[in-house]
């Protein structure tokens, strides 16, 4: 009887020891897996952060490159033409007949004032810091003014709701997406009218870009996703996703195209 009791005690000790060891192994395994997942999460978070910073820098560089192209074209097509007209007026003024040249002098003053105003408009878009300092809405307005002055498209800017500012990096990437959309319209759409609609709701900004161009079959993108146009649209999708925005497009061949971007307002603050 005493032997059986000792055997039972010995058996209980063994079972208890095994359970303690199993529990210890479970705790160690749990801590190991937790540390591994935590490390993986930190690595993924750092990769996402680095990817975001690279995309942000890429967008800044592309905005500057496109802005310089716009500035060059603007100077050549508009300011150069205005100054040529000023020169023409001045060469026709007879110094001996100043009193009879009042109309030409006034016209020259008006043209010089226009050239100065155009230069001021250009200076507002020379770099991304200047673009973002005026806010997304005003930066887009300036961009549409440049397109309008080129003389090939009528542009319209519509504001709904109370304007507010988003996070600066979100506004920067949204501006680049819109800039790229305008470039696609100018290059491919054969449109006459471009309308950009800002709908500021308390929790969301909806940005809509509409053109009356030839449109296209969206199914073609699945068949030609390696074209420059297809890659450009994919790039806009990716950029929208980085800032938690939703990017969509509606188009029918012969009936124009609509690009819709929905951006959550994470900092509801009046501009």
Higher pLDDT: 155 or 80? It is: 155
Which whole number is the average pLDDT over 13-29? 78
pLDDT attached to residue 198: 97
1 pLDDT band, cuts 50/70/90, is: very low
Q: Read off φ and ψ for residue 71, nearest 5 degrees.
A: -65, -45
Statement: residue 238 has pLDDT above 80: yes
- Do the beta carbons of residue 156 and residue 194 sit within 8 Å? yes
Which range among 64-73, 98-107, 260-269 shows the weakest confidence by mean pLDDT? 64-73
Higher pLDDT: 53 or 179? It is: 179
R_g of the chain, CA atoms, integer Å: 32
Cα 86 to Cα 72, 114, 116, 147: the distances in Å are 20, 11, 13, 23
Is the pTM value of this prediction over 0.85?
A: no
Which whole number is the average pLDDT over 24-37? 78
Higher pLDDT: 184 or 114? It is: 184
pLDDT attached to residue 134: 80
Q: Which two tokens stand for residue 39?
A: 């490390």
How many whole angstroms separate alpha carbon 8 and alpha carbon 228?
A: 79
Statement: residue 173 has pLDDT above 50: yes
- Mean pLDDT for the chain? 77
Statement: residue 3 has pLDDT above 50: no
Domains of the chain: 153-271 (3.30.565.10)
Statement: residue 266 has pLDDT above 50: yes
pLDDT attached to residue 80: 66
Statement: residue 271 has pLDDT above 60: no
Which whole number is the average pLDDT over 111-129? 66
- Do the beta carbons of residue 203 and residue 264 sit within 8 Å? yes
Higher pLDDT: 81 or 206? It is: 206
Higher pLDDT: 178 or 44? It is: 178
pLDDT attached to residue 262: 95
157 pLDDT band, cuts 50/70/90, is: very high
pLDDT tens across 130-154, in order? 666 788 998 899 888 878 877 788 9
Tell me the angle at which helices 2-74 and 228-242 cross, rounded to the nearest 10 degrees. Answer: 120
pLDDT attached to residue 193: 94
């Amino acid at each position: 009887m005493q032997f059986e009791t000792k055997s039972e005690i010995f058996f209980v000790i063994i079972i208890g020891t095994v359970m303690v060891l199993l529990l210890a192994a479970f705790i160690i395994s749990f801590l190991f897996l937790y540390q591994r997942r935590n490390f993986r999460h930190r690595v993924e978070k750092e990769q996402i952060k680095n990817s975001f910073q690279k995309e942000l820098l890429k967008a800044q560089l592309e905005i500057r490159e496109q802005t310089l192209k716009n500035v060059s074209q603007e100077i050549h097509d508009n300011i150069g033409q205005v100054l040529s007209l000023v020169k023409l007026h001045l060469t026709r003024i007879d110094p001996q007949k100043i009193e009879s040249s009042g109309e030409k002098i006034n016209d020259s003053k008006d043209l010089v004032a226009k050239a100065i105003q155009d230069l001021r408009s250009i200076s507002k878009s020379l770099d991304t810091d200047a673009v973002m300092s005026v806010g997304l809405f005003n930066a887009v307005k300036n961009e549409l003014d440049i397109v309008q002055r080129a003389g090939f498209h009528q542009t319209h800017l519509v504001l709904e709701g109370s304007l507010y500012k988003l996070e600066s990096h979100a506004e920067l990437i949204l501006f680049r997406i819109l800039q790229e959309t305008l470039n696609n319209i100018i290059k491919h759409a054969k449109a006459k009218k471009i309308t950009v609609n800002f709908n500021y709701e308390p929790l969301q900004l909806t940005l809509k870009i509409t053109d009356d161009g030839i449109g296209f079959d969206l199914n073609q993108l699945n068949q030609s996703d390696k074209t420059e146009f297809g890659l450009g649209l994919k790039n806009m999708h990716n950029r929208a996703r980085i800032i938690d925005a939703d990017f969509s497009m509606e188009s029918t061949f012969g009936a124009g195209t609509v690009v819709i971007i929905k951006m959550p307002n994470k900092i509801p603050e009046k501009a």
